[in-house]
Amino acid sequence: MKDIATPNRTKDILERHGFSFKKSLGQNFLIDTNVLNRIVDFAELGPDTGAIEIGPGIGALTEQLAKRAQKVVAFEIDQRLLPILADTLEPYENVSVIHSDILKADVHEAIRQEFREGQDIMVVANLPYYVTTPILFKLLEDKLPIRGIVAMMQKEVADRLAAAPGTKEYGSLSIAIQYYTEAETVMTVPRTVFVPQPNVDSAVIRLLKRPQPLVQVQDEAFFFEVVRSSFAQRRKTLINNLSNNLGSLSLPKEQLEGILQETGIDPKRRGETLSIAEFGKLSDALYTHKKNGSV
């Protein structure tokens, strides 16, 4: 049988099932098997690896995962796709499709039920553009027992996730993702290999989970608050952003300036110039003041 991800087979499947795309679900199906195989290559699946997919569509990526992984569990929100997936994936006995919104799903429970304890697991997905960031944060903040994530997304978002300090793409999103993972954009994908064609180019990013977060901080929630506050208005200096936006710690500007200088950080720098290690140092210094009631 021909692969699902060819223009003709995709067209045939969609016509046979009378399927129409829902713009609200960000449905863009891949029609290039070479691109799919490269995505699966980057996930480095072994014969004992489990794969989790989000938004399988008509099963184009699922099929390639099923050929290489021990088991594939796919979460699909659109009920109309369930009979199509039952049809296209019928030859693959190692695939389970769960009808669920991944943002509401108990992924820990699905892993307990579908995979062996301690099994190597990778998330591999062509993510809907409109919910890429919430999905990634759910997967990372839920502290799932996964090795990492290989995901296709809007190129602009991928650039931000993997950005280095001092670049215009670097921001609170870059820091949040790199705090948990090693992030690398591994390939770009033209819009021409999708139906319908999106308005933007895509990229595939590989996020490998760190055994420990990149920096050890006294309070994780406060660390992320400091990061977000530092980028609240990108053109403003650290001292201005922190004094105007750090809601849980209201210090006089002079005191904030003193803390910044104590940590060796020039108050006139902008957030985009700080490394994650510097943000860790700064957040701990500020947290010490907060803990000691210096407000």
Binding-site annotation, residues for S-adenosyl-L-methionine: 28, 30, 55, 76, 101, 126
In degrees rounded to 5, what are phi and psi of residue 140?
A: -85, -40
CA–CA gap between residue 107 and residue 158 (Å, rounded):
24
Burial of 250: CB neighbours in 10 Å, binned 0-12, 13-18, 19+: exposed
Q: What is the rounded distance in angstroms from the CA atom of residue 265 to the CA atom of residue 121?
A: 40
**Termini Cα distance of the chain:** 69
| Cis previous bond, 7, omega within 30 | no
Cβ atoms of 237 and 268 closer than 8 Å? yes
Binding-site residues, please? 28, 30, 55, 76, 101, 126
